[in-house]
Structure 1
Amino acid sequence: MGRIFAAASHSVGLTPNQVSLISAGFTFTGIALLALAPASVGLGVLVWLLLAVGYAWDSADGQVARLRGGGSLAGEWLDHILDSGKLVSLHIAVAIGWYRFFDLPDPMWVLVPLGFAIVSTVTFFGMILNDLLRGKRGIPQAAETGGSSPLRSLLGLPMDYGVWCMSFVLWGMHAWFMVVYTLLAIVALVHLCAAVAVWFRKMKALG
């Protein structure tokens, strides 16, 4: 979908920054609905579609930049600012939606999405910081070094933003969504703990 959006955007003359803002429009509309509208199956499907379309547009801005001959520092900055805002606000919106519209057995359940917000924010910042510090040593970014495999991709599915988006089809089924979302949060926490140990060891070696 991102490739199709990128081709269409390039054909009508949209800039990468405009594509980024279109992505943000879809994404933050979906996030706002989680906090503002009563939870239902229909709303969950709508939120999933908005987040998924926003995700596809997010993958298109870099492709549009390459079609135009390369991106800019300002464009990269804007893309990362929007991504960071998306990650933290998504989980905060879940916390608000849980508190307002879910039949929670205990209000303390809102700590799950708030904790998820911390985990996803630290993970995102860690990856950005890794690339920044590696770049200062003239080392290629992690995305440029390869090393992925089908098995590694499958194991990483619970950490994939697209999987997080799809989980919202269960938004109207309160108990099921809480179970699935909590399991995703636990996997994200375990992944972060393991990643931090690896990242620190690699940074220590670089130093």
Structure 2
Amino acid sequence: MLTEPAVDVRRPVAPVPETYRQTVARLQAAQKPVGRGAPAYSVHVNRRLGRFIAAAAFRFGLTPNQVTALSAALTFAAILLLALVPPTFWLGLAVTVLLAAGYAFDSADGQVARLRGGGSAAGEWLDHVIDAVKTSALHGAVLLLAYRFLVPADQRAWLLVPIGFMIVAAVSFAVFLLNDLLRAARARTTTATAIRTGSTPLRSLLGLPTDYGLLIYVFLLLGAPGAFVIAYTLLLAAHTGYLVLALPKWFRDMKAIEPAAS
């Protein structure tokens, strides 16, 4: 007697959900290369914090732009506190925690985009615009803090320090973006290698004066205004010195890729 073939009526086995640890590992494997001279805190601390945040944000279904918005909210909350509240230890702690958290979320938004299969031009534009605003606004808040609470009337010349820091930080940010933009453009239009990646501990340490992470922790000194003024001034001097030394080198780099483009 003929019999009907046995039919497997079991439902297809659903894939096992990815764990948080597996998401972190997948993100680490897809991490973009470290830029040459990338400063130490940004590479070894902030990027790792951003990875943990990105994995959690991805699992909660947040988009890269939502993570960028959270970063902006944390950062600008710190900037408002800095501009409006008299300096104390607790203000310095609150500002440092908010800025550090905002910086970690700033690292996370691009990593969320990679987990979701790639970012968008609009998302990258939004991220850079917020970075540009906070770069100047943070030092503007220091200027207001100093004018209202820190600097006596007979020492108002020190107010030139946050103004100078605002200028140096804005120029540095613009030049970093321009360097990456021009190198990437030359790499797309020529067969020459226009982008060099990879960093070393020495390069990371040399880039420390430009590290936004270092600036963040200077605000822990707000409970001791004299120490804060000295540390902030020294950081401006280091940041300015690095920029002055780096500009001729970056100009030579641009000239070096020009023959390949032509």
Q: 1:111-130 counterparts in 2 under 5 A? A: 111-130=160-179
| 1:35 is aligned to 2:77 | no
Q: Percent identity?
A: 53
> How far apart, CA to CA, are the structure 2 residues paired with 1:132 and 1:56?
24
List per-residue Cα deviations over 1:137-183 (Å, max 9, x = no partner).
Answer: 126775xx224111221232222111100110001211100000000
Alignment-mate amino acid for residue 40 of structure 1: T
Q: Tell me whether 191-200 or 43-52 shows the greater mean CA deviation.
A: 191-200
| 1:2 is aligned to 2:50 | yes
> How far apart, CA to CA, are the structure 1 residues paired with 2:255 and 2:210?
26
How far the C-alpha of 1:35 sits from its partner, in A, is: 0.6
> How far apart, CA to CA, are the structure 1 residues paired with 2:209 and 2:170?
16
Q: 1:94-109 counterparts in 2 under 5 A? A: 94-104=142-152, 106-109=155-158
- State whether residues 187 and 194 of structure 2, in contact with CA within 8 Å, keep that contact through their aligned partners in structure 1: no
| 1:135 is aligned to 2:184 | yes
List per-residue Cα deviations over 1:4-41 (Å, max 9, x = no partner).
Answer: 21111111110000000000000010011111111111
- State whether residues 94 and 113 of structure 1, in contact with CA within 8 Å, keep that contact through their aligned partners in structure 2: yes
Q: 1:142-161 counterparts in 2 under 5 A? A: 145-161=196-212
| 1:57 is aligned to 2:105 | yes
> How far apart, CA to CA, are the structure 2 residues paired with 1:108 and 1:23?
33
Q: Which residue of 2 aligns with 1:205?
A: 256
From the two aligned structures, give the one with the greater helix fraction.
1
- State whether residues 131 and 141 of structure 1, in contact with CA within 8 Å, keep that contact through their aligned partners in structure 2: no
Question: What's the TM-score once normalised by structure 1's chain length?
Answer: 0.94
> How far apart, CA to CA, are the structure 2 residues paired with 1:133 and 1:148?
20
Gaps of 5+ in 2: 1-48
Runs of 4+ with deviation above 3 angstroms: 139-142
| 1:180 is aligned to 2:204 | no
Shift of the 141–178 alpha-carbon distance from structure 1 to 2, 3 Å rule, reads farther
> How far apart, CA to CA, are the structure 1 residues paired with 2:58 and 2:194?
27
Alignment-mate amino acid for residue 32 of structure 1: L
Q: Which residue of 2 aligns with 1:48?
A: 96
Q: Which residue of 2 aligns with 1:87?
A: 135
Gaps of 5+ in 1: none
> How far apart, CA to CA, are the structure 1 residues paired with 2:149 and 2:164?
19
Question: What's the TM-score once normalised by structure 2's chain length?
Answer: 0.75
Alignment-mate amino acid for residue 22 of structure 1: L
How far the C-alpha of 1:54 sits from its partner, in A, is: 0.4
List per-residue Cα deviations over 1:56-101 (Å, max 9, x = no partner).
Answer: 1111001100000000000110110011111111111101100001
Shift of the 161–198 alpha-carbon distance from structure 1 to 2, 3 Å rule, reads same
- State whether residues 75 and 103 of structure 2, in contact with CA within 8 Å, keep that contact through their aligned partners in structure 1: yes
SS at match of 1:171: helix
- State whether residues 112 and 185 of structure 1, in contact with CA within 8 Å, keep that contact through their aligned partners in structure 2: yes
